[in-house]
Amino acid sequence: MKKALKRTALILAIFLIVSFIIGYIITANEMKKNFGRGEYPDKNLTATWFYDHYENDYPREEVSFRSGDNTLKGFLYGMGGKKGLIVFAHGIGSGHEFYLGLITRLVDLDWSVFAYDCTGSGYSDGEGTKGLAQSLIDLDKALSFTESDSRTKDMDKYVLGHSWGGYAAAAVLNFDHDIKACISMSGYNTPFAELAENCDGSYGMAAKLLYPLVWTYNKVTFGKNSSWSAVDGINKSGIPVLVIHGDNDDVIKYNGASIIAQRDRITNPKAEFYTFSEEKRNGHNSYFNTTEYTEYKENTLIPLQDELNAKYNNDVPYDERVKFYKSIDGELYNGFNPEVISLINSFFEKAA
């Protein structure tokens, strides 16, 4: 009987180990698919203004620096700005040029901005973005670059990030950089918390069975950098930190994986919080929009899109999509909420 029990226990143990290994391989493959490259889009299929629209008024200096095995492209905007250097970290699935509406307005206010494309994003090297901890690793390297480059090493430095970059902006405060102040927009507290939240959204109660596999993938991929906490960075730094979030964020939940959901754990007396709650401008990045664009989108763009999708049974031809995007009012589309600009400018000025 004892031998039979031992044999059964051994078979069960082998089965569990093999199942975990198979599950991990499947999970790792899915993660690699989910964290593929973040390319800039076909410019015919977007109304976003990229650098070719701004280059005459906002010259930039291109630089490069290493992050792990990859070379990342960075850009210095508004060099000569008297207020200091803002190091900007972008969201996943895109490059920094998606935020030029923000960057150029900060330059107008006499800030210099160092923005870069993360690993596997935009102009930078990398087969993919790797995972949710990569933004922190890249920001750490970006800050090290600014601390050693002759053009920027003596400038006061501020960090600003959104989403993937919002996490990095706060979590990098765990590291040894001389940062005057930090603003995190729509960021998550830890990579695993956000991964778990995404699993919950996709698989419901069954998601908890995936937690060990997802945790292992994150740990194997990033090692010691897999679990830095934004909250810990904020508390450790003691510097002024502003946490911004929309209360209807459907990407990083306001009461879920977000940094702002952990505000009761934040002991840094210089930490401040700002919630966007206006309907239709309280999402993951919709608080970037002006009220005029929000109305234009609701009353004009969405009905036009619905009309096209109905006409072509949700398979709109390329030429028709090009016509649609060319018809969009670029000034309205690329406007930027002045309240956000004012928040950033005044908060950083106050910390100077």
Query: Of 104, 169, 166, which is closest to residue 142 (Cα–Cα)?
Result: 169
Which stretches within 35-55 are classed as H helix? 51-54
Q: How many CA atoms lie within 13 A of 256 on its CB side?
A: 21
- How far is the C-alpha of 132 from the C-alpha of 165, rounded, in Å? 10
> How far is it, in rounded angstroms, from Cα 344 to Cα 347?
5
**Which structure tokens are listed for 28?**
């790792």
Q: Is 258 exposed, middle or buried (0-12, 13-18, 19+ CB in 10 A)?
A: buried
Question: Over its length of 352 residues, how does the chain's per-residue pLDDT go in tens digits?
Answer: 666 666 666 666 675 676 667 666 777 777 788 889 999 999 999 999 999 999 999 999 999 999 999 999 999 999 989 999 999 999 999 899 999 999 999 999 999 999 999 999 999 999 999 999 999 999 999 999 999 999 999 999 999 999 999 999 999 999 999 999 999 999 999 999 999 999 888 878 777 888 888 899 899 999 999 999 999 999 999 999 999 999 999 999 999 999 999 999 999 999 999 999 999 999 999 999 999 999 999 999 999 999 999 999 999 999 999 999 999 999 999 999 999 999 999 999 999 8
- CA-to-CA separations, 48 to 43, 100, 319, in angstroms, rounded: 8, 9, 18
Distance CA 323, CA 305 (A): 12
H or E element in which residue 66 lies: strand 60-67
- From residue 107, give the alpha-carbon distance in Å to each of 100, 176, 248, 263, 322: 10, 27, 30, 31, 31
> What is the spatial distance between Cα 281 and Cα 263, in angstroms, rounded to a whole number?
22
Domain boundaries of the chain, sorted by first residue: 35-190+228-289+338-351, 291-334
Query: What is residue 106's three-state secondary structure?
Result: helix
- Give the integer Cα–Cα distance in Å for 197 and 191: 10
CA distance 332 to 297: 9
- Give 118's contacts (C-beta < 8 A, 6+ positions apart): 38, 67, 72, 89, 90, 92, 95, 124, 129, 134, 135, 138, 164, 165
40 near 95, Cβ under 8 Å?
A: yes
* CATH top class, domain 35-190+228-289+338-351: alpha beta
